[in-house]
Amino acid sequence: MAARKKGVVDLAARVVQAARQTPPQRVELTLREFSLLSDAARQAFLADRSVQELASPVAVFGQVRGAWDSLTRLLAAVPAPPQASLLFLGTVAGYGAGVEGAACLTLVWALKLLHPQHVVCTRGRMDCEQMVRLISPRSVPSNLLPHVLRVWEALPPAAVVDGRVFCTEGGFSPELESMQQVLELRRPCGMQDEGLLTDLLWGRFERGTPGWNESNYGAGYGFGPDIVDQMLDKLGMRLWIFSRFETDADDVTFKYWPECRCACVFSTRFPNLDSTPAVLMLSSDLQPVRVTAP
């Protein structure tokens, strides 16, 4: 057992060291190595709580969508663990990224294994078999997909920074009355058509529309700034961070609405838009700061 654990740690270190080279390199893993790494990552994520807590400073990554260049450049632009923690808000792969999607996943998993207390990855709306089949069948190579699905089913749906900042890829739910409900979500689990987990991943912030609304995603709920206020007060939180590109903002990959007590970040380029991948840095003052790669 000890030898196996050392072998996994050595493998994770090799993945991270290669990614930190100039230019970053991808390690070509055998199927057995990928399986070992994914099994270890799954156990590491299951060891986290369903609302995993982190202390600032924290670099918050939005959706990466399998963009290896964006991920490695952004990682080089922020302090490495344990100087800062890393929070990935789901959808690390996806959208036809293929081999690059698998490389992004293995890098995040390797970072988790090397720094389990300083790296958290929450679940994204694309992190399930249904979405792979429907929208993104080439998220990762097909022979790796069964291993990836097992890790996705283990991911926590949310994280909290300094006990004051609530972080999800998606949003909120009308069912949500307390943080304890999220903590009690059982993992591993598949994706359901409705319910608290689905709402947390698929919720959509709609700044100009108050109250709860039907989401144009076809799952979860749309909601306005008044709902954000209500939810944060219920949870005892000061700020909410989520991941989405904002086509109606000057900067589509980062937006902070202090009056709405929320911020969003997107960590890859968006097709057909002039966009720069970003990371959201949170220091002890909990003021979101945009960071981009040089």
Confidence at residue 178, expressed as pLDDT on a 0 to 100 scale: 96
Q: What is the mean pLDDT of residues 54-64?
A: 97
Do the beta carbons of residue 74 and residue 101 sit within 8 Å? no
Q: Which of 77, 58, 56 is nearest to 291 (CA)?
A: 77
* Residue boundaries of the structural domains of the chain: 2-292
Q: Which amino acid is at 255?
A: K
pLDDT confidence band for 247 (50 / 70 / 90): low
Confidence at residue 170, expressed as pLDDT on a 0 to 100 scale: 92
Q: Which of 66, 122, 130 is nearest to 93 (CA)?
A: 66
What is the maximal distance between C-alpha atoms in the chain?
A: 56
* Res 249 pLDDT > 60: no
pLDDT confidence band for 211 (50 / 70 / 90): very high
DSSP bridge partners of 87: 60, 120
Q: What is the mean pLDDT of residues 111-117?
A: 97
Confidence at residue 139, expressed as pLDDT on a 0 to 100 scale: 73
pLDDT confidence band for 214 (50 / 70 / 90): confident
Cα(270)–Cα(139) distance, integer angstroms: 16
- 32: which residues sit within 8 A by CB, 6+ positions away? none
Cα(118)–Cα(138) distance, integer angstroms: 30
Confidence at residue 215, expressed as pLDDT on a 0 to 100 scale: 81
Confidence at residue 194, expressed as pLDDT on a 0 to 100 scale: 87
- Mean pLDDT, rounded, of the chain: 92
Confidence at residue 192, expressed as pLDDT on a 0 to 100 scale: 83
Q: Give, in words, the CATH class of 2-292.
A: alpha beta
pLDDT confidence band for 5 (50 / 70 / 90): confident
Q: Sheet containing 254-257: which strands, arranged edge to edge?
A: 51-54, 158-161, 165-167, 239-243, 262-265, 254-257
Going by DSSP bridges, is the β-strand pair 262-265/239-243 parallel, antiparallel, or unpaired?
parallel
Confidence at residue 245, expressed as pLDDT on a 0 to 100 scale: 77
- 207: which residues sit within 8 A by CB, 6+ positions away? 224, 225, 257, 260
Do the beta carbons of residue 72 and residue 100 sit within 8 Å? no
- Size of the chain, expressed as the number of residues it contains: 294
DSSP 7-42: HHHHHHHHHHHHHTSSS-------HHHHHHHHHHHH
* Res 216 pLDDT > 80: no
220-235 pLDDT tens trace: 899 999 999 999 999 9
Confidence at residue 141, expressed as pLDDT on a 0 to 100 scale: 86
Q: What is the mean pLDDT of residues 188-201?
A: 91
Q: Is 272 exposed, middle or buried (0-12, 13-18, 19+ CB in 10 A)?
A: exposed
Q: Which of 126-140, 157-171, 185-199 has the highest mean pLDDT?
A: 157-171
Do the beta carbons of residue 171 and residue 220 sit within 8 Å? yes
Confidence at residue 137, expressed as pLDDT on a 0 to 100 scale: 65
Q: What is the mean pLDDT of residues 198-204?
A: 93
What token pair was written down for 164?
A: 């004051």
Confidence at residue 233, expressed as pLDDT on a 0 to 100 scale: 97
Confidence at residue 219, expressed as pLDDT on a 0 to 100 scale: 85
Confidence at residue 250, expressed as pLDDT on a 0 to 100 scale: 62
